[in-house]
Amino acid sequence: MASNSQHYVYILRCKDQTLYTGYTTNVAKRLKKHMEGKGAKYTRGRAPFTLVYKQKCQTKSEAMQLEAQIKKLPKQRKLALIHEANQKIGEEDEDSKKLFRAIR
């Protein structure tokens, strides 16, 4: 059974400069939940956030595996991943660029 859902892994930079990695099917909606204090327990009280990374995955399983891999990385490697992704942002489709700018 094929699913039409979009699956994303994202990283937020919190106001205390820590990084939070999560999974969602709707990045804008999930960020709003974090801002309202209704997101992950870790992010409560750490707003405002900056969306610094997002990666679209083909399946939920792929996204969950990527999330787990990123969470295991040391902070410096996560920062390198974020830097690499930001270098490629100009190569993404226009909708992705608009969302990224709106949430940043």
Is the preceding omega at residue 74 within 30 degrees of 0, hence cis? no
**Max Cα-Cα span within the chain:** 42
pLDDT, tens only, 70-103: 999 999 999 999 988 887 765 554 555 555 455 4
Q: What is the pTM of this model?
A: 0.80
**Do residues 11 and 21 make contact, with C-beta atoms less than 8 angstroms apart?**
yes
The pLDDT of residue 33: 94
pLDDT given at position 90: 54
What pLDDT is stored for residue 4 in this prediction?
67
Q: Which residue segments constitute the domains of the chain, with CATH numbers given?
A: 7-103 (3.40.1440)
Instruction: Identify the pLDDT of residue 24.
Output: 97
For residue range 10-59, list pLDDT tens digits in order. 999 999 999 999 999 999 999 999 999 998 999 999 999 999 999 999 99
**Do residues 61 and 68 touch, judged by C-beta distance below 8 A?**
no
